[in-house]
Amino acid sequence: MIVINARFLTQQVSGVQRFAEQISLSLARLRSDLHFVAPPGEILRPEVASQLRVEQIGQRSGHLWEQIDLPLWLARHGRPLLVSLCSTAPLAYSKQVVTHHDITYVRHPESFSWKFRALYRLMIPLMLRRSLAQVTVSEFSREEIASHYGVDRKGIHVIANAVSAEFCTGLEPTLLERPYVLAVSSPASHKNFSRLIEAFRLLGELDVELRIVGAANRSFVDAQLQQSGQGDRVRWLGRLDDDQLIEQYRNAAVFAFPSLYEGFGIPPLEAQACGCPVVAASSASIPEVLGNSVLYFDPLDPPGIAAALRRVLLDHKLRADLRRLGQENVLRYSWDISALRLSSLIDTFLTERSDYPARFDAKQIAKQGGRS
């Protein structure tokens, strides 16, 4: 038995939870020796929990469940291999493969509360050093984690994110009277939305709208819009479900990704899968993930951001080229390929390999592409 820490099903979806959820679904199709466990209480995505046949165990929730209830349950069940997919894991359990996506909290501490930073400062070094192996989502993050925490990079395995199948709609965009620039993320400081809004102000000669998707404090939104003087041209849409998000991607004239720091960055891939051209910051892991499929800008330079947006908005051929390059780029990533790589890593730590049935042909999957 291999136990998967499914605490992520009790958390709101961000890139970290998206990775855990999609890898789990693909991994569950690949092998039959998995047992998913989660805290008691509300499961936020019951349809996913049903597919994974999640068992809710213990009495506590959150970090207390992960640090107390989960390792006690594992001890009572023969100390099986544990796989944690969501950046944290029980510190008292060493027979596990852990996942850590990035060290944004180190590089941009202003984006996090002091409690969060203190918790991670305590937990993450212990988690990395006590685990059998570590997983992260990009070569960039592997180098960042290895250099900051002093762990052997050879023990950190890169298993990339991908795009969920529902984002690959193949539908043509709806022609709108007023085109819009789309951005998707949280209001955290390193996401750099203040400079994006400043850049958008420089596009005053164009009849275009900026739409921003993601949870945000109302006072933050009002302050940003008041400061920019663009209240009539900028719309903050809040958190959207996947169907609503796909609609926004599909009809956008261009997707902007101004982030200063990312361990991977799923939103631009989602935009590309929906046929939306992308302009992006030339920072952190972003060039690794997007390659030559986007138009890059310096994220610290609002006039440069504005110039990139203006160029794509006004150049029909460039938009078409970026759409084509984007959809080619998306093909480099596959949740099935990533799950297959995780499955192979798991097998290296099983003393007696389970005789599990493969539900799809591993060789056939490998031919379809993907990243190492």
For residue 142, what pLDDT is reported?
98
Task: Give yes or no for residue 58 having a pLDDT over 50.
Answer: yes
For residue 171, what pLDDT is reported?
66
> Would 2-162+334-367 and 166-330 be classified into the same CATH topology?
yes
d(CA 279, CA 249): 13
For residue 337, what pLDDT is reported?
97
pLDDT bin (cut points 50, 70, 90) of residue 13 is confident
Task: Give yes or no for residue 363 having a pLDDT over 50.
Answer: no
d(CA 113, CA 105): 9
Task: Give yes or no for residue 267 having a pLDDT over 60.
Answer: yes
Local structure of residue 56 (DSSP, 8 states): E
Domain boundaries, given as residue ranges, for the chain? 2-162+334-367, 166-330
Q: Which superfamily does CATH assign the domain made up of 2-162+334-367 to?
A: Glycogen Phosphorylase B; (3.40.50.2000)
d(CA 177, CA 72): 59
pTM: 0.89
Specify whether the CB–CB gap between 15 and 265 falls below 8 A. yes
For residue 361, what pLDDT is reported?
43
d(CA 167, CA 19): 15
Characterise 109 by phi-psi region: left (phi > 0), alpha (psi -120 to 50), beta (else): alpha
What mean pLDDT value characterizes the chain?
90
- In the CATH hierarchy, which top-level class contains the domain 166-330? alpha beta
Cα 261 to Cα 66, 153, 326, distances in angstroms: 28, 20, 21
